[in-house]
Amino acid sequence: MKAKYILLCLSLLGSANMSAQRITFENEGEYTNLSVYDIWEKSPFRTGEIANISRYVAVVDNPSKEVDEVVGSAPNPSEKVLAVQRSRFGSNTFGARIDLPTPIKLGNATKYVHAMIYKPEGEDTPVLLTALGKRTDWPYQNKEAEQLWVKSSSEIVCGKWNDVVFGITTNPNVELHSLVVVPDLSSPHNRTSDFVIFIDEIEVSDQSQPRFSLSNYPINFDKGQAYTRTDRQFTKVAVSGSGSTTQNITFGTSTMYHDLTQTKFVSAKAGDKLTVKLSQSGVWMSGYVYVDWNNNGKFEPILVNNVPAEGSDLVSFTHLNGYNSKGESCGGNNVSNGIITCPVFTIPEGTPSGVYRMRCKVDWNCDDAGGNTASNNSIIANGGGIVDILLNVHDDEVKISANQLNGDVLNTDSTTLVSQMIPYGSAHKILMAPAPGFTYKGVVLKHGYNLDGPQFVKDNMQWKTDTIDASKFKDNIYTIPASSINGEVRVEGLFDIDTGIQRIENGESTTDNGRSPAVNDQYAYDLSGRPLPSSSPKGIYIQGGRKLLKQ
């Protein structure tokens, strides 16, 4: 217990030395004053109708130190946080104001303000950052001018600590004296009471990605976000490799983000060189391609001398700070005849076979896989877009096996299919051989990777199952399509006792066109010998001497 006290004391000592660009609320020196601010000029918090506005904020104990399952730890274990009373008499831009002991001067840089926000209850809402300050070369100007307004591109999730990131830029002559975090950017007109929201760990850094994310592969806007402009839209991904046909993936323009990982994948082998082309209407946009090589649920760019380094999840881009991913100096207008051609990249030799999430993004000068959040250059405002697909890194051959009772699944040469290797991506025929007294209802195909593990890992589908009905077989043979030979394949034959009853499928003839019923007739009759009308009810019938079950 004593040791814990000492550790805590040391942590407090450490926080005392933190610069003004990190505010943990553990130490009063981190700010000069705490109050509230409303962008609405007629707010009672600005007109003086509500007095002593500092009452609406206070530094209090952290109300939530719980471990988050996705994050894997407590997102915010700190002791003290800032509480702000969200007044229903403030506007949608009412927030907590933190006056800084040392002004922030950005110069020409884009910086990122991180803030942890915890809204215990209510609706998920977007949040906003504004900053008050002045030009350093205008001595007559007071430091209350609003220098920026940056809306979070996605909503915060209630009941959890969120790390919200705001990209900020200013004129180089500007210094920021106060930050205002607006934690509930919704109109309060229907509210009859106030509530409390907590803010903590405000930090200004170069890091555009959240310090933690409550979801895998985060994007910096709501997944349902519609395009806000009609002149720029991202519509297609085309992936081509050396010697392989181009794999095209198209998608709609109703939203800026598409998660196609359960329906679309592209195939390649370790060592392949891939070229990705992105179809984008409009101009002045760039392309970015990511692959999550370590399947950790994040896209983590590693750039050395402007070029993706070994292990970088950002594998190709057409423009980032004046360079493309080949390290060539270039501009940012990378759309040519509606196509952004990303520089070729190589799937590293030795990459284990399996699926990897691949993200293709159209954006402006931004390596954040979630999209640019900088004010005036956000991916939303610029008409960019994101699509996620799976990259299937495969070997030349994949394993196929079968396992079932009461019959065998054979190759068409009548050899038993137990476990063998077949070419990746090639159709394969199987032959059903029921044991005596048994028939088959079909097969279940399980195909993909890690077939004994969970179907989804970090939201990426590892495998899927397809049930193939007996009616799809012809002469007891079924051709497994090439698209299902996309990893390991397991076949389970569905053998069952032969009852002598067969199903009549939709479209199969069940009438005799008025002819008299006869034994062994090719048409079907009910158990009283009457020919079936085409709209016959479900039941058991006779056809050609066979019992048939119409379902």
Integer Cα distance of 203 and 360 in angstroms: 29
Residue 58 near another protein by CB under 8 A? yes
Under rule CB under 8 A, residue 169 binds another protein: yes
Stretch that binds another protein, among 4-12, 205-213, 453-461, 499-507 (CB under 8 A): 4-12
The correct pick among 188, 327, 348, 517 for binding another protein (CB under 8 A) is 188
- Selected binder of another protein within 19, 29, 47, 55 (CB under 8 A): 55
Start-to-end CA span in the chain (Å): 72
**Among the listed residues 389, 387, 391, the one whose alpha carbon sits nearest the alpha carbon of residue 257:** 387
Q: Residue type at 52?
A: N
Closest CA to 380 of 169, 144, 167: 167
For 370-387, the DSSP string reads T---BTT--HHHHT-EEE
- To another protein, the closest distance from the beta carbon of 145 in angstroms equals 4
Closer to another protein by CB, 58 or 422: give it. 58
User: Which tokens is 531 given?
Assistant: 């020919």
C-alpha distance from residue 11 to each of 5, 64, 329, 426 (Å): 10, 19, 45, 61
Q: How far, rounded to the nearest angstrom, does the alpha carbon of residue 526 sit from its chain's CA centroid?
A: 55
Of 113-121, 171-179, 203-211, 540-548, which segment contacts another protein by CB under 8 A? 171-179
Least Cβ distance, residue 368 to another protein (angstroms):
17
Q: Which is nearer to another protein, 138 or 456 (CB)?
A: 138
The torsion defined by the Cα of 376, 377, 380 and 382, in degrees rounded to 10, comes to: 110
Q: Which stretch binds another protein (CB under 8 A): 3-11, 199-207, 477-485, 518-526?
A: 3-11
- 121 is a contact residue toward another protein (CB under 8 A): no
CA distance 322 to 312: 19
Binding residue for another protein, selected from 18, 71, 74, 145, defined by CB under 8 A:
145
Binding to another protein (CB under 8 A): which residues in 230-269?
Answer: 230
CB of 537 to another protein, least distance (A): 47
Q: Give the rounded distance of the alpha carbon of 469 from its chain centre.
A: 34
Q: Which of 17, 112, 96 is nearest to 368 (CA)?
A: 112
- Nearest distance from C-beta of residue 108 to another protein, angstroms: 8
**151 is a site residue for another protein (CB under 8 A):** yes
Q: Please, which residue, 362 or 380, has the CB nearer to another protein?
A: 380
**56 secondary structure, DSSP code:** G
The total number of residues written for the chain in this structure? 551
Under rule CB under 8 A, residue 171 binds another protein: yes
Separation CA 417–CA 490 (nearest Å): 10
* Residue closer to another protein (CB basis): 61 or 66: 61
Taking phi over 0 as left and psi of -120 to 50 as alpha, with beta for the rest, 54 belongs to alpha
Q: Which stretch binds another protein (CB under 8 A): 182-190, 269-277, 339-347, 460-468?
A: 182-190
Please give the residues from 14 up to 53 whose contact with another protein meets the rule CB under 8 A.
16, 27, 39-42, 44, 49-50
As a whole number of angstroms, the distance between CA 441 and CA 351 comes to 39
Report the alpha-carbon distance of residue 152 to residue 373 in Å, rounded: 8
Site for another protein in 341-400 (CB under 8 A): 365, 375-377
Residue 226 or 304: which CB sits closer to another protein?
226
Measured distance CA(271)–CA(277) in Å, rounded: 19
Among 150, 174, 238, 532, binds another protein (CB under 8 A): 174
Nearest approach in angstroms of CB 15 to another protein is 10
Establish if 128 lies at the interface with another protein (CB under 8 A): yes
- For position 404 contacting another protein by CB under 8 A, the verdict is no
Q: Is residue 122 involved in binding another protein (CB under 8 A)?
A: no
Q: How far is the CB of 471 from another protein (least distance, A)?
A: 50
Give least dist CB 19 to another protein, A. Answer: 18
Residue 37 or 212 with smaller CB distance to another protein: 37
Which lies closer to another protein via its Cβ, residue 135 or residue 399?
135
Can residue 229 be called a binding residue for another protein (CB under 8 A)? yes
Q: How far apart are the C-alpha atoms of 47 and 49, rounded to whole Å?
A: 6
Q: Is 31 exposed, middle or buried (0-12, 13-18, 19+ CB in 10 A)?
A: buried
Q: How far is the CB of 42 from another protein (least distance, A)?
A: 8
Query: Is the four-CA dihedral 209, 376, 158, 292 of positive or negative sign?
Result: negative
Burial class (CB in 10 A: 0-12, 13-18, 19+), 533: exposed
Q: Which is nearer to another protein, 8 or 304 (CB)?
A: 8
Residues 59-118 touching another protein, rule: CB under 8 A, are 59-61, 63, 79-80, 83, 85, 87-89, 91-93
Q: Considering the complex, what minimum distance in angstroms separates the CB of residue 79 from another protein?
A: 6
Q: Select 89 or 323, whichever has its Cβ closest to another protein.
A: 89
Integer Cα distance of 123 and 377 in angstroms: 28
Residues 291-320 that bind another protein (CB under 8 A): none
Binding residues for another protein, total number by CB under 8 A: 65
The whole-angstrom separation of Cα 278 and Cα 385 is: 10
Q: Does 153 contact another protein by CB under 8 A?
A: no
Helix (H/G/I), strand (E/B), else coil: 50: coil
Q: How far is CA 137 from CA 131, 141, 171, in A?
A: 18, 9, 12
* Cβ proximity to another protein, 50 vs 157, nearer residue: 50
* Structure tokens belonging to residue 298: 């994040």
**Residue 143 binds another protein (CB under 8 A):** no
Q: Which residues bind another protein (CB under 8 A)?
A: 5, 8-10, 12-13, 16, 27, 39-42, 44, 49-50, 55-56, 58-61, 63, 79-80, 83, 85, 87-89, 91-93, 126, 128, 134-135, 137-138, 141, 145-149, 151, 169-174, 185, 187-190, 194, 196, 228-230, 365, 375-377
